[in-house]
Amino acid sequence: MRRFEGRTAIVTGATMGIGEATARRLAAEGARVVLVARGAERGEALAAELGGGAVFVAGDVADPRTAAAAVAAAGELDVLVNNAGIDHSEPLLEADLDHARAVFETNVHGALSMLVAAARSMRDSGRGGSIVNVTSRLAVAGVPTLAVYSASKGALLSLTRTAAVELAPHRIRVNAVAPGLTRTQMVTAWVEAQPDPSTFEASVAQTIPQARFAEPEEVAAAIVFLAAPEAGHITGASIAVDGGYTAA
């Protein structure tokens, strides 16, 4: 039996990388998926490909109206995957507060907006549900030039833990998945922009105990596990999918 048969899931940042891999896996396991992203053409094409009642909601999670539209499109909601986020890199002493605000608007405020709207729907329906926030290895590890991004993901991890405790009486579970370097379009573009991409990737991979980047599907597997019924007694947890980076 498919684990998500008869269930509805919202996935933000659903048209690329980890979000797309997660949406595909949820759909394959029977979920009706509500895809949320900014790119309409790609989103509508993916919804048509997934079938099973999949729908696309165009919007930026930094705009609270996006959360309302996504929850309305879902109807009775069972799962939220808070995956949308933006990266940012600059030396800390040159930090631009406008850039920092933009990162927090998406990575923290946008995720909070989605979480609150989804949790209200799950509470009001009496069905409960599962929320999975996609954080980062950098929520607990410091890397130069990534202070603002790390802080945003650390805030999301703290939100995960507190929400798990507060929402438990409503049978709503809240967990996090913390990816390390993952072979997404963004990371691939970063590698290919280097003077010697192959040498650069090999040197970066050596900082990871498993000596390789993750694949989006590997991160999606952890997300889907936490969202699934068999993880019913897991809440407030964070699973690292980083090849051992944060264990070293």
In a domain, 14, yes or no: yes
Q: Give the burial string for 61-77 (b: 16+ CB within 10 Å, else e).
A: bbebebbebbbebbeeb
CATH number of the domain to which 35 belongs: 3.40.50.720
Looking at the chain, the whole-number percentage of residues with pLDDT higher than 90 is 96
Residue 36 in any domain: the answer is yes
Is residue 229 a part of any domain in this protein? Answer: yes
- Digit-coded pLDDT (tens) for 19-48: 999 999 999 999 999 999 999 999 999 999
Would you name the residues annotated as active-site residues? 149
Which pair of structure tokens corresponds to residue 90?
């600059």
How many domains would you assign to the chain? Answer: 1
The three-class DSSP label of residue 189 is: helix
How many residues are given for the chain?
248
pTM above 0.85, yes or no: yes
Query: Closest Cα to residue 106, out of 158, 173, 156?
Result: 156
Phi-psi group of 51: left, alpha or beta (phi > 0 → left; psi -120 to 50 → alpha; rest → beta): left
CB < 8 Å & 24+ apart, contacts of 32-39? 32/7, 32/8, 33/8, 33/9, 34/8, 34/9, 34/10, 34/70, 34/73, 34/74, 35/11, 36/10, 36/11, 36/12, 36/61, 36/66, 36/70, 36/84, 37/12, 37/13, 37/84, 39/15
pLDDT in tens, the chain (248 residues): 689 999 999 999 999 999 999 999 999 999 999 999 999 999 999 999 999 999 999 999 999 999 999 999 999 999 999 999 998 889 999 999 999 999 999 999 999 999 999 999 999 999 999 999 999 999 999 999 999 999 999 999 999 999 999 999 999 999 999 999 999 988 999 899 999 999 999 999 999 999 999 999 999 999 999 999 999 999 999 999 999 999 98
Identity of residue 59:
G
Which structural domain, as residue segments, surrounds residue 146?
Answer: 8-181+215-242
| Distance from C-alpha of 74 to C-alpha of 83, rounded to nearest angstrom | 17
Q: Which whole-number Å values give the CA distances from 108 to 130, 180, 191, 204, in the listed order?
A: 18, 19, 26, 27
Instruction: Note whether residue 201 is domain-resident.
Output: no
Q: Within a domain: residue 146?
A: yes
| Domain presence at residue 203 | no
Asked if residue 96 is part of any domain, the answer here is yes
